[in-house]
Amino acid sequence: MGEAILKLSNLRKIYITGNLRTAKKALEEIQKLSVTYEKLANKGGDSKILKEYEKQLNDAHKLFYDEKYEECYTSLTQKGISRGPRNTGVVIHALNGINLEIEQGEMVAIIGPSGSGKTTLLSMLGLHDTPTTGQIYLRGKKISSIKPGKLPDIRSKEIGFVFQSFDLIPTMTALENVILPLEYSKAPAKERSALAEEALELVGMSNRLYHTPNQLSGGQKQRVAIARAIVNKPAIIFGDELTGELDVKTTKEIMQLVTKLNKQGQTFVIVTHNPEVAKYCQRTIMIVDGKVARTL
């Protein structure tokens, strides 16, 4: 095993549903305070002031997560509250303070029951969504608070994604589908075709370059999707139930392929509810109610 390639620090994601204006306002205040605190800390500000900020933030967090939004908001702003309908909304703690590290070359399974927060976690890791609080570091670089305009670059160059339902572009051939991330990452135009063919060869699809998705079986589609994920040689590949729509035999074939790629040094994080798939991984992390319940 090598160095930590992915690190999650106290990752939280909450969803507020319903008409809960005070909760939203309180959350906004917490986020503002966090930003100010971080700026001060980075500048090496007065430790007394920093401690005061820390205290305020901790108190606010505590009140917020105890669902005392009004008190939280009042204590942070010292202002009157515009009173909206109370207790008509719900805060869902999709992720509740997750800390974990994935090492270079690891193959990790994330398992958990439905609604445990697996897919939400994967959305944060794949930079499809932003965490409410906490940080994500990829190769030591903090990517969770990166500017939205720079996210596509990281998505195309550093991250590979394999979806449950393959999600190939139906109007494109296998080769064109694999070329797509190369276009997005601005790989040299002359090399794109060769790189895509190489990736398709690696997943055993060199004889199906010009087939469109509707001419391929489920297993073949997932192989093309894996080729699309590896073509830019990303730091890490995330698989979201990548065998969810495949039969037992094809699941085995796909997991053997993923294992082969992992042995060549590719890091994988696979979300699954299938224990058989998790068995292929070196480590299994179980998520329950948005928290890491245990690591196997």
Partner 1 sequence: MEIIINMWRRKMRTLLTIFGIAIGVLALVVMGSMAEKLNLQAEEGVKYYQNKIQVSSDTSSMLPAPLKISTGDEITKIKGVEYVSPVISTPLEKKSSGFSLGYEASITAIDQNADKHGNSYLKIYTGRRLTNDDSGKAIVGYDLVKKLNADLGRDIDIRGKKFEVIGIWEKTFSTTDTSVSVSLKDGQSIIYDDLPSIIKSNINPADISTGFVVYPTSGTNPDKLASIIQETIPGTVALGPKQFQDQVMSSVNTVNSIIYGVAVVSLFVGSLSIINTMTMSVSERTKEIGVKKAIGAKTGTILREYMLEASVIGLMGGVVGVVIGSIVSSILNSIMEATGDKLFLVTPRLVILSLAFSVILGTIAGIIPAIHATRISIVKALRGA
25 binds partner 1 (CB under 8 A): no
4 forms part of the interface with partner 1 (CB under 8 A): no
- Say how far apart CA 127 and CA 122 lie, in whole Å: 8
H or E, element range at 36: helix 21-42
CB-wise, 22 or 164, nearer to partner 1? 164
Q: Which stretch binds partner 1 (CB under 8 A): 19-27, 56-64, 147-155, 279-287?
A: 147-155
Work out the burial of residue 43: count CB atoms within 10 Å of its CB; fewer than 13 is exposed, 13-18 middle, 19 or more buried: exposed
**Which part of the chain contacts partner 1 (CB under 8 A), choosing from 28-36, 73-81, 180-188, 193-201?**
180-188
Least separation in angstroms between residue 185's CB and partner 1 is: 6
Q: Exposed/middle/buried for 147, CB within 10 Å: 0-12, 13-18, 19+?
A: exposed
Interacting span for partner 1 (CB under 8 A) from 36-44, 72-80, 157-165, 247-255? 157-165
Helices (H) and strands (E) in the chain, counts: 10, 10
Distance of CA 113 to the CA centre of its chain: 18
| 169 part of the interface to partner 1, by CB under 8 A | yes
Q: Which of 89, 112, 117, 126 binds partner 1 (CB under 8 A)?
A: 126
Which range binds partner 1 by CB under 8 A, 18-26, 65-73, 83-91, 151-159?
A: 151-159
Looking at residue 183, its amino acid is E
Q: Please answer whether residues 170 and 212 qualify as being in contact, where contact means their C-beta atoms are separated by less than 8 angstroms.
A: yes
- Report the site for partner 1 in 61-120 (rule: CB under 8 A): 119
Among 37, 53, 73, 161, binds partner 1 (CB under 8 A): 161
Query: Interface with partner 1 includes 167 (CB under 8 A)?
Result: yes
What is the rounded CA–CA span in Å between residue 94 and residue 91? Answer: 9
Contact pick of 24, 68, 139, 157 for partner 1 (by CB under 8 A): 157
Shortest Å distance, C-beta 120 to partner 1: 8
Nearest-10 crossing angle of helices 218-230, 189-202: 130
Q: In this structure, which amino acid lies at residue 125?
A: L
Which residues, numbered 220-249, are part of the site for partner 1 (CB under 8 A)?
228-229
252 sits near partner 1 (criterion: CB under 8 A): no
180 binds partner 1 (CB under 8 A): yes
Smaller CB separation from partner 1, 11 or 26: 11
CB of 203 vs partner 1, minimal distance in Å: 16
Region of residue 262 (left: phi > 0; alpha: psi -120 to 50; beta: else)? alpha
Nearer to partner 1, 45 or 244 (CB): 244
217 vs 209: CA distance, rounded Å? 14
Could you write out the DSSP letters of every residue in 84-112? ---S-SEEEEEEEEEEEEEETT-EEEEE-
What residues line the site for partner 1 (CB under 8 A)?
Answer: 119, 123, 126, 128-129, 149, 152-153, 155-157, 161, 163, 167, 169-172, 176, 180-181, 184-185, 228-229
